[in-house]
Amino acid sequence: MPQVAIIIPVHNTAAYLKRCVESVRNQTLKDIEIILVDNLSSDGSAQICDDYVLVDSRIRTLHLTVAGLSVARNAGIAASVAPYIGFVDSDDWIEATMYEDLLKTLVSCGADMSYCNYCYEYADGHKEQLYPNSGKIYSLMPKDVVRDILLDKVSSSSCTKLFKRNLFDSFTFPEGVCYEDHLTVYKWASKCKKIGWIDKSYYNYLQREGSICHSPDLRKLYDYFLAEYDRLAFVESTTLFNTKERGILTARVVGHCLWIFNTFIRKPNHTLYKQEIKAMKLRLHDFLSLSKDVIGPQSYKRLRKISYFWPLYYLTHCSRRNKV
């Protein structure tokens, strides 16, 4: 049985797919299974996936009839057999020792999940390093990792993580929405006994136009709002945090939801999304039940204006003066 399953969802990334797959095939950890999940590609990506099956016995290809990143990841999880699972996006690539080092860290820390750093790679070839990258290994308590994910100090991306398979027994990726990692990774982290971190960059995110994270689609921005809003229920219900910590995280969620909402209504085509704006306003109104001392006077004032003085708020915060 392979030690690690590496799941690669694929959708119209033919120009980048070979570099991605080769970086996974060339891992120093050889005892792996590689699952390519083609997601209704129309640019030749599906054929590239099938060709790889012929040259590497560790590779399997799934061809789905339903689109969606979460659908592809969940199909890969169901098809895999390894006790540990990782994910790579098909336009990115990874360093050769990534999974060997993540597995060693997970085992040595007695952890249920391990994670590493990442960097951004741009079209001109230069990289942007975001962390000190000392190479040190840390054994962390779940509470600290969950807190730092919720504060965006640790990436919520599943692609920089190695998971024990049983973490997916209770739930998998939510289908039909974007920002699935934002909705789930902190919840999986909360179920761990220990988490290992390597302060070193192994994952290379390609920054390109057309990728999901760079799409200006307002539907995706709305999903981002919902994912952030969903975090408040977790913060209020979890026993991980004390009163002070819960207050800090609550204020963070409220402030971020306000920022996403303001970003949304400043987009040129926001008037096409009246139902989404209405739904966000209702959720923002719910925040008024929270303590003013917890969420802060500035956020509280903005929430009141949105709830009770919407026309004035809209005129003063929206770049376009179309009434919604």
Going residue by residue through the chain, which has 324 residues, state the pLDDT in tens, using 9 for 90 and above.
999 999 999 999 999 999 999 999 999 999 999 999 999 999 999 999 999 999 999 999 999 999 899 999 999 999 999 999 999 999 999 999 999 999 999 999 999 999 999 999 998 888 898 888 999 999 999 999 999 999 999 999 999 999 999 999 999 999 999 999 999 999 999 999 999 999 999 999 998 765 544 555 899 999 999 999 999 999 999 999 999 999 999 999 999 999 999 999 999 899 999 999 999 999 999 999 999 999 999 999 999 999 999 999 999 887 544 555
Helix (H, G, I), strand (E, B) or coil at 51: helix
Q: Are 180 and 159 within 8 A, CB to CB? A: no
pLDDT score recorded for residue 60: 98
Helix (H, G, I), strand (E, B) or coil at 7: strand
Q: How far is it, in rounded angstroms, from Cα 308 to Cα 263?
A: 20
User: pTM here?
Assistant: 0.93
pLDDT score recorded for residue 308: 97
Q: How far is it, in rounded angstroms, from Cα 317 to Cα 313?
A: 6
Q: Are 102 and 32 within 8 A, CB to CB? A: no
